[in-house]
Every structure is written in C-alpha cells, then in structure tokens.
Amino acid sequence: MKKTWWKDSVVYQVYWRSFYDTDGDGYGDLEGVIQKLDYIQNLGIDVIWLNPCYDSPDIDNGYDIADYREVMPKAGTMETFERLLQEVHNRGMKLIMDLVVNHTSDQHPWFKEAQSSKDHPKRDYYIWRKEPNNWRSYFTPSVWEFDAQTEEYYFHSFAIEQPDLNWQNPIVRQEIYSIMKFWLDKGIDGFRMDVINLLAKQEGFPDAENPEDISYLGNNPGIHDYLREMHEEVLQHYDIFTVGEIPFVTPEDGLLYVGEDRQELHTLFHFEVCDYMANWDMERFKEIQRRWYQGLWGKGWNSQFLNNHDHTRLVTRFGNDTTYRVESAKCFATLLHLLPGMPYIYQGEEIGMTGVRFNSIEDYHDIAMKNKYQEEVEKGREPEEVFASLLHLSRDNSRTPVQWNDMPHGGFTNGTPWINVNPNYKEINVAAALNDPESVYYFYKKLIQLRKENEVMVYGSFQELFEDHQQIYSFIRELDDEKWLVVLNISEQQVQIKLPESLSLLEKELLLTNYNNQEEQNSELQMRPYEARIYRI
Ligand code: NOJ
C-alpha cells in the first residue's frame, strides 16, 4: 500500500467559535487558535481541520457562506488567517479548511442576483422549479422554498437560507475552482469537503416513496464527473490532503470516491456510525468496521471518528460520562487510534469533555434542533416531550466552549459566551488535565506518539477476535514482523475472556493500558469496565 504523509497523520478539529476567545466578544477567534497552537502541537497533532471561517450571516454557524474570499469578522481578518497558517506551518503542522460548495448563503451576491429576475445571467447558478416535489431537507419539511418575487421555488438541502448551487452549470464549477485555488495558493494543505456527494442532483426531481429517508439527496449520477473535473482542474496541482464528508454511502460507493486509482478524493467520512447509531451497539459497530475494512483496505483510505461539531461527544453518547468518564474516554480513544484509518480528534475530546443538558430550548442555538423543535410543536406534540427527545443528539452537545481552566466560563472568554459553557468545567478542564499524569489528555498523547513510532498502527492489517462478543472488541494489527493485539472491554461490567492458546501473553509487552496494576496474565484476561490494552505479541 502506498505510504503518504496524510495516512500517517492524526487530525485535530478546531471549531474555532468555541475554541478560545481573545477579544471578549463571546466567540472564539483565529487569534485564539494561534494562541493555543502550542497546546495542539504538544498533543502531537499533524493536521488541523478548521471549521468554516468565511464571511457568513452565520445562520448555520458558518456553513452558509456569503463571501468565499473573506474572513468572518467574528473569526478575525485575512491577516489573522494568514498568520495562523504561518504559525501552524512554523510548528511543522498542516492546516486544512472546510470547503462548503454544495450551497451558499442566501446573502451571497450570486443568490441575490439570481433571485432578482428570471432572466438574470446568474439565475442558473441555483436550482429553480415551478413546482416542488415531496422531498424534505436536512433542516426543514421541504427542500423547496417559494420565491415571491419571481414566483418559482429554489432548492435547498439544508436551511432555507442555504440555497444549493447548480453544479450542472459549468460557470459555477469554474467559480468554485477559482475559490479553491485562491486558498490553496495561500498555502493551505487541503480541504474537508462539506457534504461533497450532494453536488449532483437527481434528474427531474422525482417524488420519493418515503420522503423521510433523505438519501435521495446524495450520490446521484454525475457526482464523479464533477469530482474528477475538480481533481483535474485543481487538486492534482497541489500536494494536499482531501477528506470528503459523504453521507448515505456504502463501502462499494465509498471506493468510487476514494479509490487510489480514481483521481477524486483521498479519504472520506461515512456516517454509518454517527448518523445511524444513537447509542453504543457493539454488534452493529463491529459489522460496520468489518464491511468498511473489507471494502477499502488496500484500495482506498478510511477515517475514524466518533464525534465532531455535528455529533454528541463520544463519552456521553457511546461511553459513560459519569462513573467511567475517564476510563471510557481512554477506551474509545484506543479504539479510534487502533482501527484502520486516520483518527480525528474533535476539540475537547482529548480531555474527555461531555455533552450538555441545558434546561430550555432558549439555551440552544443549533438550527437543526431548533427547526425540528418548531416543526414538531407545530404538529401539535407536547413541547416538553419534543424538547426531551431532541437533547441526546442535539449538535450543541459538542459545541459548548472548550474548558481551559476553572475560571468563569471555563477560561474560554472574558465576555459572555455565545453558547453556555458546560457547568462541569470546574472539574473537567485543560489545566486540570495537564496537571494529572493519568488524565485523558496524556493518554491521547501516548496514543499519538505510539502511532509516530509504529507503522503497524497505520499500515497494519486488521483481524478480529471474539467476533460475536457483546462486550469485548479485540483485534490484531500486523505489519511485517510487528504484531499487536488490542483488547477493549466496551462495557460497564467486568468481563473475563480466554485468548486462543496460540496467543499466550506471558512475557509479551503491554504497550498501553488505561488501568494501573496490571497483573501478569497468560491467556485469561479479567477486563475491568472500559479497560483497554494494547500488547505487542
Ligand atoms: C455538514 C456540516 O458539518 C454541518 O455542520 C452543516 O450544517 C451542514 N453540512 C451544511 O453545510
């Protein structure tokens, strides 16, 4: 398998608005990212993924862009951005940016012009129809919004304020390529491509049998032509890294996006776990990993993540955020860093930050959650009940500010934070983590260091043990003479297992574990709640 710098990398996601505020406006900013770069570098990070900081009315936290060549004032200025990039590079790290080109903001001049008249030359930058079909969008009951001035509907996969671009229009495509070059020529190291498989739409917009299953939005004919063209016109001319956000994708289709012979993207995020597994489901998780390994290994590269700015923090959603917070955070970290694929760390994950439970819908800002709340209440459902049902997966679970210390607002801001800080900041914060050699932080650091020293974590093959076990996830990674055994107890119970005779652990090196006091073991292991072990065998 071809070795590349990005396959070896660990990525750290910076959701800058919740990272660190330096000007007291309650929003994190790019200057804040600069000031915390040493922290990120000390963790051992190779690549930073920066969420969108382009000029935007901020209806969907920057995913609604009004000017692709400007920096949002809340984030800073172009000068700050350029300094950030320089400082990242000075520390030997790389920076990738979000590329959000399925849609723009409705405040983008292109849309305003397109909306001004049916005959405007830019009308065709967007998608217009005389009649809607029955599709729903991610955030609203219909993908169509009526425009009173020109008496047609425009198409939006997300909020009403996020009209989709018409990728069938070659001028639109050229505009986007030029924007990509603008940033790449500044020296950025690649893109995380927002819902990139949504660019191509179904011809004729036929009604769906089940409009609730919105997979009709993605993977439509034409998508690979667009991506190949993008590769030819832009990507191939730079030494960069690309990761596509690709919902509704199977490994077979995934390979079409990231196959090494395809000239499209390097890696992808699929959402079989984060979009479809509300709580931990061992059987399902194993099946997903197995299928993706079989589908991609040797042909294309995968990613591993269990949370990001759209998905509830992993200890709260999949682990245990009270009694076993630290143990489960470390156990899932081991899982993510030892499975085949590039590991992504979402800011705060490295100190075991947890999801939130605010008291009222007023405390929430996530447009997906707020719209859903309103939609359900309008249907006549009890507001309390709707509210309760939305808490577990609200995107704000992961959007609360990074907890830096035990000062007011967790040291995130001197002002009023745009979203409340998780009240547990006095206990869970970066300063406390840095002071505690047993913290989640130092465990991540060790995992990242191990990866740098051992190619088996990147290029080693993957073979499962105990395939049907409901609590234990165990596998072997192997590369040349190097063979590692990973054993994880992803449960709150103590579990005993007996390894196959051929795998005696006597005198084998225990490379990393999240529990002290390991007794020498032969083939019988007593695994404590969320215990994780990595052996060189
Ligand atoms: C995926 C992004 O991660 C999410 O935050 C955003 O709302 C949608 N794409 C729309 O851009």
Reduced 3-state DSSP string for 468-536: CCCCEEEEEEEECCEEEEEEEECCCCCEEEECCHHHCCCCCEEEEECCCCCCCCCCEEEECCCCEEEEE
* CA proximity to 344, closest of 309, 316, 295, 318: 309
User: In this structure, what token pair is assigned to residue 144?
Assistant: 């169509």
User: In this structure, what token pair is assigned to residue 365?
Assistant: 């800002």
DSSP reduced 3-state for 361: helix
Residue whose token pair is 């991609």: 296
Indicate the top mutation candidate among 49, 138, 165, 195 to test ligand 1's pocket, ranked by most ligand atoms within 8 A of CB.
Answer: 195
Residue nearest to atom 10 of ligand 1 (CA): 63
DSSP reduced 3-state for 452: helix
Indicate the top mutation candidate among 53, 100, 156, 371 to test ligand 1's pocket, ranked by most ligand atoms within 8 A of CB.
Answer: 100
Spell out the residues 6+ positions from residue 213 whose beta carbon is closer than 8 angstroms to its own.
none
pLDDT for res 201: 98
Ligand 1 geometric centre to CA of 231 (Å): 22
Residue nearest to atom 11 of ligand 1 (CA): 63
Torsion of CA 42, 44, 49, 51, to 10 degrees: -30
Ligand 1 geometric centre to CA of 394 (Å): 13
CB of residue 63 inside a 6 A radius of ligand 1:
yes
What does each C-alpha distance from 111 to 103, 175, 221, 350 come to in angstroms? Answer: 10, 14, 25, 40
Contact (Cβ atoms closer than 8 angstroms) between residue 62 and residue 52: yes
Ligand 1 geometric centre to CA of 100 (Å): 8
Give the distance between the most distant pair of CA atoms in the chain: 78
One-character DSSP codes across 33-57: HHHTHHHHHHHT--EEEEPP-EE--
Ligand 1 geometric centre to CA of 99 (Å): 11
For the four alpha carbons of 509, 433, 395 and 12, in that order, the dihedral sign comes to negative
pLDDT for res 143: 98
Give the Cα separation of 318 and 484 in Å (integer): 25
CB of residue 195 inside a 6 A radius of ligand 1:
yes
List, in sequence order, every beta strand (DSSP E) within 246-326: 267-269, 303-304
Ligand 1 geometric centre to CA of 310 (Å): 7
- Active site residue ranges: 194, 245
CB of residue 95 inside a 6 A radius of ligand 1:
no
Element housing 68 (H / E) = strand 67-71
User: In this structure, what token pair is assigned to residue 344?
Assistant: 């992504």
What does each C-alpha distance from 536 to 27, 135, 352, 431, 531 come to in angstroms? Answer: 45, 52, 27, 33, 17
User: In this structure, what token pair is assigned to residue 525?
Assistant: 């292991």
Cβ-count burial 229-240 (b if 16+ within 10 Å, e if not):
ebbebbbeebeb
Nearest ligand 1 atom, CA 102: 11
CB of residue 194 inside a 6 A radius of ligand 1:
yes
Indicate the top mutation candidate among 13, 17, 56, 194 to test ligand 1's pocket, ranked by most ligand atoms within 8 A of CB.
Answer: 194
Contact (Cβ atoms closer than 8 angstroms) between residue 312 and residue 332: no
Contact (Cβ atoms closer than 8 angstroms) between residue 403 and residue 351: yes
pLDDT for res 235: 98
Give the Cα separation of 368 and 395 in Å (integer): 8
Residue nearest to atom 4 of ligand 1 (CA): 310
CB of residue 100 inside a 6 A radius of ligand 1:
yes
Contacts of 258-261 with C-beta under 8 Å, sequence gap 24+, read: 258/296, 258/300, 258/301, 259/299, 259/300, 260/2, 260/299, 260/300, 260/301, 261/299
CB of residue 396 inside a 6 A radius of ligand 1:
no
Ligand 1 geometric centre to CA of 302 (Å): 20
Q: pLDDT (tens digit, 0 to 9) for every residue of the chain, 537 residues total?
A: 899 999 999 999 999 999 999 999 999 999 999 999 999 999 999 999 999 999 999 999 999 999 999 999 999 999 999 999 999 999 999 999 999 999 999 999 999 999 999 999 999 999 999 999 999 999 999 999 999 999 999 999 999 999 999 999 999 999 999 999 999 999 999 999 999 999 999 999 999 999 999 999 999 999 999 999 999 999 999 999 999 999 999 999 999 999 999 999 999 999 999 999 999 999 999 999 999 999 999 999 999 999 999 999 999 999 999 999 999 999 999 999 999 999 999 999 999 999 999 999 999 999 999 999 999 999 999 999 999 999 999 999 999 999 999 999 999 999 999 999 999 999 999 999 999 999 999 999 999 999 999 999 999 999 999 999 999 999 999 999 999 999 999 999 999 999 998 888 888 999 999 999 777 678 899 999 999 999 999
* CA proximity to 80, closest of 18, 37, 26: 37
308 forms bridges with which residues in the sheet? 311
* CA proximity to 5, closest of 301, 332, 447: 301
Task: Label residue 29 exposed, middle or buried (CB < 10 Å: 0-12, 13-18, 19+).
Answer: buried
pLDDT for res 350: 99
Amino acid at 69: R
CB of residue 54 inside a 6 A radius of ligand 1:
no
Phi and psi angles of residue 343, each rounded to the nearest 5 degrees, phi first? -80, 140
Residue nearest to atom 2 of ligand 1 (CA): 194
pLDDT for res 520: 67
pLDDT for res 519: 73
DSSP reduced 3-state for 242: strand
Amino acid at 392: H
Spell out the residues 6+ positions from residue 110 whose beta carbon is closer than 8 angstroms to its own.
104, 122, 125, 126, 175
Ligand 1 geometric centre to CA of 309 (Å): 9
Distance of CA 106 to the CA centre of its chain: 25
Nearest ligand 1 atom, CA 368: 7
Cβ-count burial 114-136 (b if 16+ within 10 Å, e if not):
bbeeeeeebbebbbbeeeebebb
pLDDT for res 1: 80
Give the Cα separation of 260 and 189 in Å (integer): 19
Contact (Cβ atoms closer than 8 angstroms) between residue 217 and residue 198: yes
CB of residue 310 inside a 6 A radius of ligand 1:
yes
Give the Cα separation of 514 and 26 in Å (integer): 36
Distance of CA 522 to the CA centre of its chain: 39
Contact (Cβ atoms closer than 8 angstroms) between residue 477 and residue 461: yes
